[in-house]
Amino acid sequence: MTLTAGFFGSDYWTDPLMVGDRERERAAVVAATLPDGLPVWVITRFDDARAALDDPRLSKDSAALVKAIQHQLEAAGYGDRNPSGMFGPHVLFSDPPRHTRLRKLLMYAFTTKRVKALEPVFRNMTADLVANLPLHEEVDLISQVAVPLPLAVICELLGVPADAREPLRPLVDAINLNDPATAPAASDQLVGFFTDLIEHKRRKPGDDLVSALIHVDDGQPDKLADDELLGTLFLLLNAGHDTTANLIGNTLRALLQDRRYRWRLVHEHPELIPNVVDEVLRYDSPVRMATHRVVAEPVEYGGITLLPGEIVLISLHSANRDPRQFGEHAAQLDLHRDRHDLRHLGFGYGLHRCLGATLGRMEAEVTIETFARAFPRAVLLDQAELRRRRSPIMNGWDRLPTLLDV
């Protein structure tokens, strides 16, 4: 593989969108090296990205991925790294038929009705938060708004008792940062926490997703095995929390960056908010890269034959800003862009398309609506100093210091 200064190179951490745009125009498929040393291929253009997201020759089977990653890391001289923690036995890291089975079981418990019931709960949480935030003092919209709200929702959904939620935050952060010094211990603690939660819900089922997943076999021939149940809870906590926090943070930042026009527009026209959130999902996608896939049989993308055992990432933000699909102004935020023309890949595509899209959208829409209504004169501070989070997969801001004003 040829080396590139593009993806995961030094300027990727300061301006990932610019690097993604540049790499996409350079080639449809580029070689890159992840910070942990793993060599990968990155697919950059919309048509290829959409095809790859739904290509059965690109496997997401957890065992096959772990084996291939270990092999690639060894070949690159990093033999001692163990990637297995990330790739649990759950729906995101499975191929059919296991994927079909796990997705069906998850959908059986994760019903539209359950998601709908969360909206009034979420509106109350957001209203409480707004009522308790100080005016005219610096508030960080990431750590005080974008992160705690989705964590509270996912805990509500899973049935995590209120007093057990706060200690989960540092654990989730440590796992997401994937720091070899802290992530394994955090991961062990979270396994312990979920094991206890499952035990508790077995004895005393409630009206929550964990209880529903335990009892999902009611009248069904199938059932989640213990490790699959644990893996699913891990996935839901991570997939449902970090992603949504980024969507809320990226949308707040995009709007407050231009408070005279954009923030005012959503204050005066809240009916535009669903459109705005979708446009941010496209323009500043909360998930930069779709998760790892391993080539199961030779497959050609962008004129390059990818070989079995090689790892593929799909750059959602490059694909979502591809002028071939979204026109010459694809790299600009257009709050009036018609969402029905969008067909962006912010929630993935095909077999592994996000199961929480409705929930994530609802959380972002309600947060923006509540904040724009409550604080029409909010001001984002230190704009030139703002930093992106240093994550290869997730796309968010470290902090958004803001003065709230009514």
The least CB distance from residue 258 to ligand HEM, in Å, is 22
Tell me how far apart the alpha carbons of residues 106 and 286 are, in angstroms, rounded to a whole number.
23
267, 286 contact by CB (below 8 A): no
Question: Which token pair is 157?
Answer: 């959904």
Residue-wise DSSP of 205-229: --SSHHHHHHTTTTT-S----HHHH
Kindly tell me which of 79 and 350 has the beta carbon lying closer to ligand HEM.
350
Q: Applying CB under 6 A, does 145 fall inside the site for ligand HEM?
A: no
Q: What is the per-residue binding string for ligand HEM in 39-78, x denoting contact by CB under 6 A?
A: --------------x-------------------------
Q: What is the per-residue binding string for ligand HEM in 360-389, x denoting contact by CB under 6 A?
A: x-----------------------------
Query: Using CB under 6 A, which of 34, 91, 197, 276 touches ligand HEM?
Result: 91
Identify which of 241, 271, 267 has the alpha carbon closest to the alpha carbon of residue 255.
267
The residue whose Cβ lies closest to ligand HEM is 356
Tell me how far apart the alpha carbons of residues 83 and 238 are, in angstroms, rounded to a whole number.
17
The least CB distance from residue 45 to ligand HEM, in Å, is 17
Question: Which token pair is 399?
Answer: 């902090």
Q: Applying CB under 6 A, does 92 fall inside the site for ligand HEM?
A: yes
The least CB distance from residue 5 to ligand HEM, in Å, is 25
Alpha helices in 93-167 (DSSP H): 98-109, 112-132, 148-158
Residue-wise DSSP of 219-259: T-S----HHHHHHHHHHHHHHHHHHHHHHHHHHHHHHHTTI
338, 344 contact by CB (below 8 A): no
Q: Applying CB under 6 A, does 182 fall inside the site for ligand HEM?
A: no
Query: Using CB under 6 A, which of 58, 172, 354, 366 touches ligand HEM?
Result: 354
Q: At which residue do the structure tokens 């709050």 appear?
A: 335
Question: Which token pair is 330?
Answer: 């694809």
Q: Which residues are CB-neighbours of 93 under 8 A, at least 6 positions away? A: 60, 61, 62, 65, 87, 291
Q: Which residues are CB-neighbours of 122 under 8 A, at least 6 positions away? A: 149, 153, 362, 363, 366
Query: Using CB under 6 A, which of 52, 139, 255, 290 touches ligand HEM?
Result: 290
The least CB distance from residue 340 to ligand HEM, in Å, is 19
Distance in Å from the first CA to the final CA of the chain: 55
Query: Using CB under 6 A, which of 24, 45, 50, 103 touches ligand HEM?
Result: 103
Query: Using CB under 6 A, which of 355, 362, 372, 400 touches ligand HEM?
Result: 355
**In degrees rounded to 5, what are phi and psi of residue 227?**
-70, -30
Kindly tell me which of 182 and 358 has the beta carbon lying closer to ligand HEM.
358
Kindly tell me which of 59 and 72 has the beta carbon lying closer to ligand HEM.
59
195, 87 contact by CB (below 8 A): no
Query: Using CB under 6 A, which of 213, 247, 296, 312 touches ligand HEM?
Result: 247
Question: Which token pair is 310?
Answer: 């090689």
Count of residues in the chain: 406
The least CB distance from residue 350 to ligand HEM, in Å, is 8
Q: What is the per-residue binding string for ligand HEM in 329-348, x denoting contact by CB under 6 A?
A: -----------------xxx
Q: How many CB atoms lie under 10 A from the CB of residue 276? A: 27
Q: Applying CB under 6 A, does 359 fall inside the site for ligand HEM?
A: yes
The least CB distance from residue 349 to ligand HEM, in Å, is 8
- Contacts to ligand HEM from residues 214-243, by CB under 6 A: 235-236, 239-240, 243
The least CB distance from residue 231 to ligand HEM, in Å, is 11
Kindly tell me which of 362 and 404 has the beta carbon lying closer to ligand HEM.
362
Q: Applying CB under 6 A, does 282 fall inside the site for ligand HEM?
A: no
In one-letter notation, the amino acid at residue 399 is: R
Which stretches of the chain bind ligand HEM, using CB under 6 A? 53, 91-92, 103, 154, 235-236, 239-240, 243-244, 247, 286-287, 290-291, 346-348, 352, 354-356, 359-360
